Structure 1
Amino acid sequence: MRFWNLLLLSLAGTVTAAQQIKPGKYYDRIVIVVMENQDYNDVEADSYYSTIAENHNGVLLTNFFAVTHPSQPNYIAMISGSTKGVNLDWDSNISRKSIVDLLEAKGISWKSYQEEYPGGCNTKSSINTYRRKHNPFISFKNIANDEARCAKIVPATELDKDIENNTVPQFVFFTPDINNDGHDTTLKYSSDWMKSYFEPRIGKSGLNNNTLFILTWDENKTWVIKPNQVYTVLFGPAVNRTSSTDDTKYNHYSILKSIEENWDLGDLGEHDVDATPLIIKD
């Protein structure tokens, strides 16, 4: 009897999770994948990255820019609308709001999947090939010091379980490890990882159902002499753009603005207020 009670509770939990989907204006789920330190033209010339838009109903943003240098402030900017108080890659402990506050206020589920992260609200700077500086959520005190919230920063291995159980949250931030994102390796290495790991998952209904995928880079590589342009592509079965390219000028704040508009979240009162939202559906 106890077994059947547990089974019924488990099934009820699955149904409840499905019922908690809050429809977005354009998409019901947004998945962001962030890679590291490559110049726009180099990524554009890559044999795999250059085909993502074409193969997955996508659009290449040809005039998209990172906010600053080095890495960490860009990650912080993506989810909070500001680099305030974060200038370098050292551990940061930020006392202000982020996209998490807006999502939770509207009942929108979220998770950050981090490769090689052990979970358990761990705040270490470096663990194997995981780097805290690429995990912006753990730098916000109201997340790191809240067990329920920081429990949503999870090892990337949980993604497959969530896809299988149809429990992938509505907002997903995925960070590959320091090798797979290309930081300590090469563009080709990261491209091969994206093709072998993420490509097969794009086609799974537990992940792609009315989902907008955003693939971007934190910053460019040759930043001393070049503008901070980064390769960014919007894609997924649900994406509906008549053009395969968009030359509107965007930056990382544009991603945040688009998330806010998709679920009518309001804003954080930072650079998200004046950011140009992505044209994510015609």
Structure 2
Amino acid sequence: MTASQPRTHRMLFGTGLVAAAALALAATAPASGSPGDHAGKPRLAHAFVIMEENHAQDHVIGDPNMPFTNSLAASYNQATNYYGVTHTSEPNYIASTSGSNWDVNNDNGWNPTATNPATNHYDHTNIVDELEGAHISWGAYMDGMPSAGYLPDQWPATGGALYASKHNPFALYNDVRTDAARMSHVKPMNSLATDLNSGHAPRYVWISPDQCNDMHGGVYGAIAGHPETPCPYNDAPGDANDEALKTKADAFLKTTVNTIMHSKAWTPGSVIFITADETDYDGDSPSNNFYLSTAGCCDSPVLPAGDPAVSPTWPGGVYGGGLVPMIVVTKDGPRHVTDNTAYNHYSMLLTIEQGFGLTKLGFTSDSRQVKPMWSLISNH
């Protein structure tokens, strides 16, 4: 097994519902680097990904605390049957950028200072390898990150982190993290506007809001220079803390989307994907590790009963990330389109690969399960 091939002993072509027929299928993980099926597909000028956190589709779409976000959903396009790949947060970020969660269902970011660090380092082909191999420029912008190429697991180190490496997939790939030139592309959020209006705007842009602006929460004190702080965790979807987190996320999205759409990089053929990694953490069902939903599709992992990544009482089956929002904003594509095709983060990655003429990573080569999202992007 090569470092660029997904492990298969816990993977299955998932459907979101556990059925005997589905469990009987042989789990055959696609090899990374297979030729991209982009013949005749539209080309993307720029692709922007904004990854929010921990909110189900119906806790965002229609929520009055997120008027700007919902104005985008109404004016542009939505994938209405779009899932997180799995739980928890980190494997969704990895899946979105390498085509597999690599058998990981935890948030053990890079923390070499821990006494007994249980950390995830990914030695797998990823979107950076693909982009650089095709000479396509890229940039990643981390809200709350104090400096370009920042390597510690979080900032601040104590008291509730605004920036956390589990939401920065690029810092978790060995071949990016250990390469200073590559890490120089991973920058604080305040570099975005300058870069997009330069003569060398990146064509692929990943944006992770900080944990106050991404609906995650967990910062309990004010941090100088960050008016979005504090932002306590919510106890349940829709409580006062949750509604405050949504308001902060909506303000961040308004600023960020307007920055993109008023930049030189917002050219014909450009698209913004706005989604969330997974559904809410609810606390009602210990059998699924207290997540609101474990529904999934499109090669979400299938975990056996009692899997320690979930719970001793987990009954076994598809461990998907639940139904999450996906809003697709285009410069010159269709408007007011809703698509009910089953999609997940692999579908977003596949669409970007096809739009840039890249090869396929991991499960994006599974054309039976993972479909591209062109109906939401192109008029052709």
TM-score by length of 1: 0.85
Unaligned 5+ runs, structure 2 = 1-40, 110-119, 157-161, 218-230, 232-244, 283-289, 296-321
Contact 1:85 1:94 in 2 (8 A): no
Contact 2:61 2:70 in 1 (8 A): yes
Whether 1:102 aligns to 2:130 is yes
1:15 is matched with: none
Which 10-residue stretch deviates more, 28-37 or 114-123?
A: 114-123
Whether 1:153 aligns to 2:155 is no
Q: Give 1:242 shift.
A: 5.7
Q: Give 1:208 shift.
A: 1.3
1:206 is matched with: 264
Whether 1:217 aligns to 2:276 is yes
Aligned partners of 1:232 and 1:62: how far apart in 2?
A: 7
Structure index of larger Rg:
2
**Secondary structure of 2:100's partner?**
coil
Describe the shift of the 1:225–1:218 C-alpha distance in structure 2 as closer, same or farther (beyond 3 A). Answer: closer
Correspondences of 1:64-103 after superposition (within 5 Å): 64-91=82-109, 92-103=120-131
Describe the shift of the 1:205–1:115 C-alpha distance in structure 2 as closer, same or farther (beyond 3 A). Answer: closer
Whether 1:237 aligns to 2:331 is yes
TM-score by length of 2: 0.64
**Secondary structure of 1:25's partner?**
coil
Q: Amino acid of the residue matched to residue 209 of structure 1? A: T
% same residue: 29
1:193 is matched with: 252
Q: Amino acid of the residue matched to residue 267 of structure 1? A: K
Aligned partners of 2:193 and 2:200: how far apart in 1?
A: 10
Aligned partners of 2:358 and 2:81: how far apart in 1?
A: 26
1:62 is matched with: 80
2:213 is matched with: 180
Contact 2:353 2:360 in 1 (8 A): yes
> Deviations along 1:179-200, whole A, 9 cap, x unmatched?
01110042222112222x2243
Describe the shift of the 1:225–1:272 C-alpha distance in structure 2 as closer, same or farther (beyond 3 A). Answer: same
Correspondences of 1:2-13 after superposition (within 5 Å): none
Aligned partners of 1:42 and 1:134: how far apart in 2?
A: 21
**Secondary structure of 1:271's partner?**
helix
**Secondary structure of 2:207's partner?**
strand
Contact 1:254 1:272 in 2 (8 A): yes
Whether 1:121 aligns to 2:179 is no
Q: Amino acid of the residue matched to residue 263 of structure 1? A: F
Aligned partners of 1:151 and 1:164: how far apart in 2?
A: 18
Contact 2:44 2:352 in 1 (8 A): no
Q: Give 1:236 shift.
A: 2.7
1:253 is matched with: 346
Q: Give 1:278 shift.
A: 1.0
Aligned Cα root-mean-square deviation (Å): 1.7
Q: Of 72, 84, 96, which residue of structure 2 is paired with 1:52?
A: 72
Which 10-residue stretch deviates more, 32-41 or 157-166?
A: 157-166
Q: Of 163, 170, 178, which residue of structure 2 is paired with 1:130?
A: 163
> Deviations along 1:50-92, whole A, 9 cap, x unmatched?
210334xx21110000011110000000000011143211122
2:318 is matched with: none
> Deviations along 1:243-275, whole A, 9 cap, x unmatched?
52111110000011111111221112x111112
Contact 2:99 2:349 in 1 (8 A): yes
**Secondary structure of 2:49's partner?**
strand
Q: Of 22, 36, 39, which residue of structure 1 is paired with 2:56?
A: 39
Which 10-residue stretch deviates more, 133-142 or 181-190?
A: 181-190
**Secondary structure of 2:364's partner?**
coil
Contact 2:61 2:73 in 1 (8 A): no
Which 10-residue stretch deviates more, 164-173 or 64-73?
A: 164-173
Aligned length: 254
Aligned partners of 2:325 and 2:181: how far apart in 1?
A: 34
